[in-house]
């Protein structure tokens, strides 16, 4: 959540999010596509929240049920307004204003598909609106290629009109300053202008920009704030632009963290979501993706080739080639390579989880070790215990899942199966290769395996003529020769 600025508080913000986004070629509404771990409309709401609006309205249209369901989850404080037909930006804002009866003061209008728009830019836009006593203030930018954008036609430091691409003359098409589609309106001016809109254009739509002409005709001042960082005004209309905006926002996120003391060895292969929190002296190695609400404490090293989703990482932890989700990794813990931490895993200080270990709802105590090739599900492992290679915590009987508890400073030998529910007490040992189905008491050794027997001559009888038989015969001959020499005293 972006910090709110009470001095920039406005009466309302209206976010236009009703478009079909047909060029996305997607079953998902355009504004629900994600950038930096959040839907574009959620990013727009975060940015708008910086103005601390009395009311925040999101205008939906295409697949409104999906958008409304998402908004109820991520931003329950917003009001939803519906644009019944796609009749243009003016009609969309008119729908939004219908959810704000009697509104007075400043109304900010923005879009749900400009993911790079910074909260500070909206704050500056409102400040300019107030400083110039404008009826309308428009955010503008000079872009390398203005194709597709409405052009700004100026008279001195005021805006005379905004001309859409399809309605512009050749001279107007040569203008480089464009309308970003983000405005601050005096509520009365906005209401009057929307009421007067008519579809007098080649598209047959109601243009919000015609409110500018209405304000000018009424002798009211229309100003502009030109943002130097034009990328903030870039929208998303297709998958190519979505990827471009995502890469740029990721670059900005990484730059901010590097300025705050995080080492990012290879920014080109490192992805960090907007909701991630990093401390000073964290190191991110190539191929790292930190997602959701992941937090990483001072001195931790993450990567290479690691994905953490909603994971808490403690100080000086080392997480190598690991996938983890909804897990807690304590201070000075080492994880990996090739570990998989599933939801509910909690690793206490100085614990070690090694190669090819999968954990689910596993609570591992201080200094405990699960070094290699283990499935550890629905388990509690006490401090200082060691789980040998190839151990399986058999937590599922086909109907329910059960918990295995291993006490403090216990030892489970390699290739053991612990059949839940079962408890291994403090200081107990489990012999390698055992299948444990009964609780093991403090200090006991549990052995559960068949007695070994060696059948002499089996290879000679059953595998005659094979390389194994030849090797065995040679070894037996050498052994007999050695025995004979010892008997003769040679």
Contacts of 171 by beta carbon, 8 Å cutoff, 6+ apart: none
Domain-wise residue ranges, the chain: 6-233, 262-446
pLDDT-derived band at 378 (thresholds 50, 70, 90) equals very high
129 part of the active site: no
* CA dist., res. 446 & res. 448, Å (int): 7
Tokens of 369: 């070790």
One fold for 6-233 and 262-446: no
Is the overall model pTM greater than 0.85, yes or no? yes
**Backbone dihedral angles phi then psi of residue 56, each to the nearest 5 degrees:** -125, 115
**Contact (CB, 8 A) for 285 and 267:** no
The CATH architecture annotation of domain 6-233 reads: Alpha-Beta Complex (3.90)
* CA dist., res. 39 & res. 112, Å (int): 9
* pLDDT tens figures, 168-203: 899 999 999 999 999 999 999 999 999 999 887 667
Which of the following is catalytic: 33, 323, 352, 372?
372
Q: Over 50: is that where the pLDDT of 238 sits?
A: yes
* CA dist., res. 434 & res. 452, Å (int): 13
Q: Would you tell me the crossing angle of helices 40-49 and 119-131 to the nearest 10 degrees? A: 40
Q: What is the mean pLDDT of the chain?
A: 95
* CA dist., res. 192 & res. 98, Å (int): 13
How, if at all, do strands 339-341 and 328-329 pair? unpaired
**Contact (CB, 8 A) for 269 and 251:** no
Alpha-helical segments (H) within 75-157: 89-98, 119-131
Q: Over 80: is that where the pLDDT of 5 sits?
A: no
How, if at all, do strands 358-364 and 375-381 pair? parallel
The CATH architecture annotation of domain 262-446 reads: 3 Solenoid (2.160)
pLDDT-derived band at 1 (thresholds 50, 70, 90) equals very low
Alpha-helical segments (H) within 16-169: 40-49, 64-74, 89-98, 119-131
In this structure, the number of other CB atoms found within 10 A of the CB of residue 262 comes to 19
Mean pLDDT within 286-305: 98
In DSSP notation, 276-289 reads -EE-TT-EE-TT-E
């Amino acid at each position: 959540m972006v910090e709110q600025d009470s001095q920039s508080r406005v009466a309302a913000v209206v976010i236009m999010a009703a478009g079909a986004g047909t060029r996305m070629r997607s079953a998902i509404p355009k504004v629900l596509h994600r950038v930096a771990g959040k839907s574009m409309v959620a990013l727009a709401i975060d940015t708008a929240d910086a103005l601390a609006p009395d009311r925040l309205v999101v205008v939906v249209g295409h697949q409104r049920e999906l958008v409304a369901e998402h908004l109820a989850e991520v931003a329950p404080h917003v009001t939803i307004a519906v644009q019944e037909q796609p009749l243009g930006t003016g009609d969309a804002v008119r729908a939004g204003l219908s959810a704000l009866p009697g509104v007075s003061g400043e109304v900010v209008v923005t879009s749900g598909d400009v993911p790079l728009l910074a909260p500070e830019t909206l704050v500056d836009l409102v400040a300019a609106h107030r400083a110039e006593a404008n009826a309308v203030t428009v955010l503008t930018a000079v872009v390398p290629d203005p194709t597709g954008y409405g052009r700004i036609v100026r008279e001195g430091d005021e805006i005379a009109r905004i001309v859409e691409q399809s309605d512009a003359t050749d001279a107007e098409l040569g203008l480089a300053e464009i309308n970003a589609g983000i405005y601050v309106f005096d509520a009365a001016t906005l209401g009057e202008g929307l009421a007067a809109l008519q579809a007098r254009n080649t598209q047959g739509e109601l243009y919000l920009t015609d409110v500018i002409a209405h304000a000018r005709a009424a002798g009211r001042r229309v100003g502009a704030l030109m943002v130097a960082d034009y990328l903030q005004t870039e929208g998303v209309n297709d998958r190519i632009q979505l990827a471009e905006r995502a890469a740029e926002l990721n670059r900005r996120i990484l730059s901010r963290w590097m300025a705050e003391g995080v080492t990012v060895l290879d920014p080109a292969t490192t992805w960090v979501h907007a909701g991630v929190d990093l401390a000073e002296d964290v190191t991110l190695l190539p191929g790292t993706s930190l997602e959701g609400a992941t937090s990483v404490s001072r001195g931790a090293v993450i990567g290479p080739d690691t994905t953490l989703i909603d994971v808490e990482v403690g100080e000086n932890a080392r997480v190598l080639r690991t996938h983890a989700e909804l897990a807690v990794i304590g201070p000075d813990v080492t994880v990996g390579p090739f570990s998989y931490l599933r939801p509910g895993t909690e690793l206490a200080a100085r614990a070690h989880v090694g190669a090819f270990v999968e954990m689910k709802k596993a609570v591992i105590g201080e200094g405990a070790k699960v070094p290699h090739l283990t499935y550890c599900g629905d388990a509690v492992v006490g401090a200082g215990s060691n789980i040998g290679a190839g151990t399986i915590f058999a937590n599922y009987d086909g109907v329910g899942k059960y918990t295995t508890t291993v006490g403090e400073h216990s030892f489970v030998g390699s290739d053991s199966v612990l059949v839940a529910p079962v408890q291994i007490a403090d200081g107990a040992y489990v012999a390698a290769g055992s299948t444990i189905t009964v609780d093991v008491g403090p200090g006991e050794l549990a052995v559960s395996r068949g007695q070994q027997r060696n059948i002499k001559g089996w290879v000679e009888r059953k595998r005659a003529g094979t390389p194994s038989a030849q090797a065995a015969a040679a070894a037996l001959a050498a052994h007999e020769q050695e025995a004979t020499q010892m008997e003769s005293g040679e």
